[in-house]
Structure 1
Amino acid sequence: MSPGHSVIAKAISDENLITRILNGETHLYEQVMRKYNSQMYRISMSIVNDNKEAEDVMQTAYINAYRQLPNFKFQSSFNTWLTRILINESLLRKKRKIKLEKVLTESMHQHSTHQTTPLDALMNKELKQILEQAVLTLPEKYRMVFIMREVQGMSTNETMEVLELGESNVKIRLARAKEMLREELNNYWQPKEIFEFNLVRCDVIVNYVMVELGISN
């Protein structure tokens, strides 16, 4: 999102924006979309779990919201109202997808075999390397307990016997190992990087909706 768009979106309240749009300044709907695109994308992705589907959901939700704007009475926040429209559309798409997948699964049940794509293999390999590297950062006494209990599936009693440790010691070391792993893995990502929605994708959504609604932006 460009700095100019961000300033405008923050400077004008939702109520002011919607009122002006309803009074004929329809081009301002672009500001509404740019303000909420990242939020809408992340919420939709959390439901449909598909990049293209999430963008389709957003477009439909924006179009439906625009057409329903005259019925918006400001009894709740616009953010809440818009998000509900998005969630309803996301759940509807997910329901359709599940139904379709069920039909396909049932029809192909006798011939179904999971084949890993090159991309799946690459992602699995990279994730495996990240996890292995994180485990290697653990101090040996914690790493040994973690490998025995979580990787090898050894029982607490077996781990106690091998390492000559008491039960409480094994449990404490395992808990500490998990805590340290979480801290280490946190270094590989930032919350804002999850389902990131950049300017180019923002423009695609905005332009599609504006054209579909016949609004000049």
Structure 2
Amino acid sequence: MLAHGALSDEEVVERVRRGEVTLFEVLMRRLNQRLYRIVRAILGDDAEVDDVLQETYLSAYAGLGQFAGRAQPSTWIARIAIHAAYARARRRRLMEPTAMNDGMVVPGAVTSPEQLASARELSELLERAIDGLPEAYRVVFVMREVEQLDTAATASLLDVSPILVRVRLHRARALLRRALSRETVSEDAFRFLRPRCDALTAAVLGHIHCATGAHHAP
């Protein structure tokens, strides 16, 4: 990883604009974990997350010239990811048979003490339970409880009211309480591990270098 941890996101963006294309890696590595969790929450599984993230970063890089700085770079890129993920989810629904559902999907109860014996097992249980939440609740829950975004930031990213964020979070917690023997959230849930982070970052940089020859910034 590039040794530019002291640079702010805004400084990284400005230097990429001036031609230091490889510095875009710094932004990607800072955002990979958060964006992975948010995109996965929207899609409901892991199948197409990497494709959406790659699309997000390439779109963000292409749009750096138009980035006005009215929001933080991380917020701007997160919005691109959210829009891309919802677009992918809509395409999925058009291609898949419609499933009839009379009500919300509530994850099955998990109460065995043996299943809660280790932190890893707990993370796996939480991931399954969170995956079972309705999409709107799952996205808010991951952003608020797993990524620790505040209500205002979550509302801004999702373009909904803070009140709606609080309502969805309350309902998500209620559903999870019915699914788990205790209400515990692990920051180890939905980890975007280093090899995968490296692969995604390398793929995006490869596309950027092919498109620009690494000579021209946006």
Identity value in percent:
29
Out of 29, 32, 35, the residue aligned to residue 34 of structure 1 is 29
Distance in structure 2 (CA, Å) of the matches to 1:50 and 1:132: 25
Equivalent residue runs for 1:183-202 within 5 Å: 186=184, 191-202=186-197
What amino acid does structure 2 have at the position aligned with 1:81? W
Asked if 1:208 corresponds to 2:203, the answer is: yes
Radius of gyration: which is bigger?
A: 1
TM-score (norm 1): 0.59
Secondary structure of 1:131's aligned partner: coil
What amino acid does structure 2 have at the position aligned with 1:22? R
- Cα distance, 1:28 vs structure 2: 0.1
Out of 65, 69, 90, the residue aligned to residue 70 of structure 1 is 65
- Cα distance, 1:12 vs structure 2: 0.5
Equivalent residue runs for 1:131-150 within 5 Å: 131-133=111-113
Report how many aligned residue pairs link the two structures.
143
Q: Give the aligned CA root-mean-square deviation in angstroms.
A: 3.0
Distance in structure 2 (CA, Å) of the matches to 1:133 and 1:88: 40
Equivalent residue runs for 1:55-204 within 5 Å: 55-102=50-97, 131-133=111-113, 181-182=181-182, 186=184, 191-204=186-199
Distance in structure 2 (CA, Å) of the matches to 1:67 and 1:60: 11
For residue 13 of structure 2, what is the aligned residue in structure 1? 18
Out of 34, 43, 47, the residue aligned to residue 42 of structure 2 is 47
TM-score (norm 2): 0.58
Unpaired runs of at least 5, structure 2 = 101-106, 116-176
Unpaired runs of at least 5, structure 1 = 107-123, 136-176
Distance in structure 1 (CA, Å) of the matches to 2:64 and 2:10: 11
* Stretches of 4+ aligned residues off by more than 6 angstroms: none
Determine which structure has the larger helix proportion and give its number. Answer: 1
